[in-house]
Chains A and B, each alone.
Chain A
Amino acid sequence: MVEFSGDLHYAKSHEWVRIEDDGSVTVGISDHAQEALGDVVFVELPELQMAIAAGDEAGVVESVKAASDIYAPISGTVIAVNELLDDAPETVNTSPYIDGWFFKLQPDNLGDVQNLMDVNAYETFCENEEH
């Protein structure tokens, strides 16, 4: 059963965003996305301190099936990347919302998350995409 996490904001390209207490945001891909990809075998993460705009390529996730781009859901500067994924890319499959995060951004404008979907909108979006 695909899981949808309630406290997150979602992009149409299936990344999620979590707002942290310090005003930074954490980015990963949804359970729906990892399930569609299949076993993840390689993740390419953005460089630290890189400034990226919403919708820009921020990395690549490669599964047994295909390579898919990861996009920045909002604009900001990369302040951390999940190095665990270098050695254990399968964490994206086993824990997409917690241990399998991709990178953290210091957002240019935290209000930009309002351009993303909430969990109900995202769930509907995924259902419509399947049909």
Chain B
Amino acid sequence: MGQRTPIYTLHVDAGAKMVDFGGWDMPIHYGSQLEEHHLVRQDVGICDVSHMTVIDLRGPQAKAYLQYLLANDVERLEVPGKALYSAMLNDSGGVLDDLIVYLDGDGYRIVVNCATREKDLAWMNQQASGFDCQLLERPELAILAIQGPNALAKVSAVVSPERADLITKLKPFIGAWSGEWFIARTGYTGEKGVEIILPGADAQNLWQALVASGVRPVGLGARDTLRLEAGMNLYGSDMDESVTPLESNMAVTVSLEGDREFLGRARLETQLGEGVERELVGLVLLERGVLRAHYPIFSGDQQVGEITSGAFSPTLEHGIGLARITVGADNLTVEIRNKRLPVQRVKLPFVRNGKQVYQLV
């Protein structure tokens, strides 16, 4: 038996197919992953992501510590509650994890992945030794993601008037406190929505209130196709310690301005000096079929890389994927069951606000 979130029993009661997910028993779908995907693109869905790790950071040197720990610069967090997406790198510039950090009063709230929890905590504690700051994991907190064009209205309808007012006024990529709830306009779907970090018992109540109001649950299967359509990376699939953010379509999240010393910086500067050899790109399969992780990508007869994440896009109704390939490679094909099929490289995301973004030539 794996670890269970406070919502576990509610998932089972809703008919979820539960699977092991980084040591947690999590819902992959509640009947149809495709329907759940469409719900989020067209209306609203609720997803339990309490398996993710919440860490609060306090202390006079919290900011200096994060400026050393992260490839992105928390100096960019100028407004209270503002969120920043960043890679956390090892000494050789490899991606240890990707995370969201929120400015929280004098400190910060950090959300990292679940499968990387132990590794991250060990690394973060090790790097904190020279700084006057404290890391406090918050395993008692749950996280609910309510996402979709109607998400804000649906959540507002079942919470207190104060919280409804707060949600209505929140700007994208900003979070705010309301009692013990931290409510943020963030997500992993490419749609409007909120992620709410709150005590387990409150999470159960909010989940039940939303479901009673007609909001349907969405499993981690749909969450994966939603994030892929939105052009967002998945740690462990699209990047890991063997690649740098510059090879992972994350260059915009690396702040090399000034001379801020951060872990992995030297390697990134060397790589920029020598020229980055591989890039992570979006691919669309031009024939019918599905792209899947590890399918090889060719340019002519030469293999130039492989798919890192692939799926059948429910919104676009064809195969899409992310692939790490040699920079500038063109005339691309993918090998599926010993057949080479043409793929076109496109600018990410694949889908924004429920609509196709790219143009096929």
Contact (Cβ within 8 A) B33 A39: yes
Contact (Cβ within 8 A) B225 A64: yes
Interface size classification for chain B: 10 to 19
B312 within 8 A of A: yes
Q: Which of A65-124 contact B (CB under 8 A)?
A: 65-67, 86, 90, 93
Smallest CB gap from B222: residue in A = A64
Interface size classification for chain A: 10 to 19
CB contacts (< 8 Å) of B33 on chain A: these are: 38-39, 64-65
Q: Which of A41-62 contact B (CB under 8 A)?
A: 41-42, 44, 60, 62
Smallest CB gap from A86: residue in B = B288
B34 within 8 A of A: yes
* A67 touching B221 in the complex, CB below 8 Å, given contacts A39-B32, A62-B312: no
Contact (Cβ within 8 A) B221 A38: yes
Contact (Cβ within 8 A) B225 A62: no
Contact (Cβ within 8 A) B221 A41: no
Assembly CA distance A57 to B312 (angstroms): 22
Assembly CA distance A93 to B32 (angstroms): 10
* A42 touching B221 in the complex, CB below 8 Å, given contacts A62-B289, A64-B34, A86-B288: no
B337 within 8 A of A: yes
B29 within 8 A of A: yes
Q: Which of B286-330 contact A (CB under 8 A)?
A: 288-290, 292, 311-312, 314
Contact (Cβ within 8 A) A42 B312: yes
Assembly CA distance A66 to B314 (angstroms): 15
Assembly CA distance A51 to B166 (angstroms): 67
Rounded to whole Å, the gap between the CB of B295 and the closest CB of chain A is: 10
CB contacts (< 8 Å) of A86 on chain B: these are: 288
Given contacts A64-B34, A64-B312, A66-B292, 11 further A-B contacts (CB under 8 A): A38-B29, A38-B33, A39-B32, A39-B33, A39-B34, A41-B34, A42-B312, A64-B221, A64-B225, A64-B311, A67-B337
Pairs across A and B, CB under 8 Å, 30 listed: A38-B29, A38-B32, A38-B33, A38-B221, A39-B32, A39-B33, A41-B34, A41-B290, A41-B314, A42-B289, A42-B290, A42-B312, A44-B289, A60-B337, A62-B290, A62-B312, A64-B33, A64-B34, A64-B221, A64-B225, A64-B311, A64-B312, A65-B33, A65-B221, A66-B292, A67-B290, A67-B292, A67-B337, A86-B288, A90-B34
